[in-house]
Amino acid sequence: MNPPPFVLPRLTALARQAVPRLLEGVVAPMAVFYTAMAVLGLTWALVAVIAWVYGGVAWRLIKGIKVPATMLLAAIAITARSLVSFWTGSWVVHFIQPEFGTICLGIAFLASVRLNRPMVQKLTLDYIHLPSAVLKHERMRRFFARITLLWAFVLLANSAVSIWLVLHESLGTYLLLRTSAVAAISGLAIAVSLFAFKRVLRRLHPVPAV
């Protein structure tokens, strides 16, 4: 029997939630660091990035808005990175540190498939409610396993490109090429993931979900 149909949130609604977080948590800190680095130097660039992250946490606390756990983790991570960068006095160290974390995350994605607990499934359920009948379907289980493998290799590829660039290019060139390369690789993976997700839903239901 086919699992009962369900309503899939519109991509525009998901984008309205994801894009502001992406801009605040990824794009803006990089822009703040590069601008401050060009004008004031490494020390003040690190101070500016820390101020940006903790400013976002403080603004939410003042407004009574719940601080996402990911933001708190980001604040801790940027603090640790900045302390190491202060100690070494190198912007290369500042940017290369998170890539080792990304490599560990990619390995964790691979391990989750081996353990039959694909991490993409857990992340998807944070944004989309899927009925248990759908999650237990063999096609859906295979889908999450394959997409988790895809994203494991995406994370590892992004880290490999980033590490090579940070070791061989200037700061400006690194930021430009790294951002472009990661956006291209990740954008392609997102497109493949969405296409595969819609495809598996069409196979689960006689009429595609909205």
Burial class of residue 95, CB neighbours in 10 A (0-12, 13-18, 19+):
buried
On whether the CB atoms of residues 29 and 49 are closer than 8 A, the answer is yes
Model confidence at 70: pLDDT above 80: no
Helix and strand tally (H, E) in the chain?
A: 9, 0
Average pLDDT of the residues of the chain: 78
* Confidence label for 14 from pLDDT (cuts 50, 70 and 90): low
How does residue 134 score in pLDDT terms, banded at 50, 70 and 90?
A: low
**Residue 17: which pLDDT band, with cuts at 50, 70 and 90?**
low
Q: Tens digit of pLDDT for each residue in 111-129?
A: 988 888 888 877 766 556 6
Name the nearest CA neighbour of 54 among 76, 33, 39: 76
What's the rounded Cα separation, in Å, for the pair 35 and 45? 8
**Which pLDDT value is given to residue 178?**
86
Residue appearing with tokens 């490999």? 160
Residue 133 makes CB contacts below 8 A (sequence gap 6+) with: 3, 4
**In the predicted model, what is the mean pLDDT of residues 41-46?**
82
Q: Please indicate whether residue 7 or residue 22 has the higher confidence score (pLDDT).
A: 22
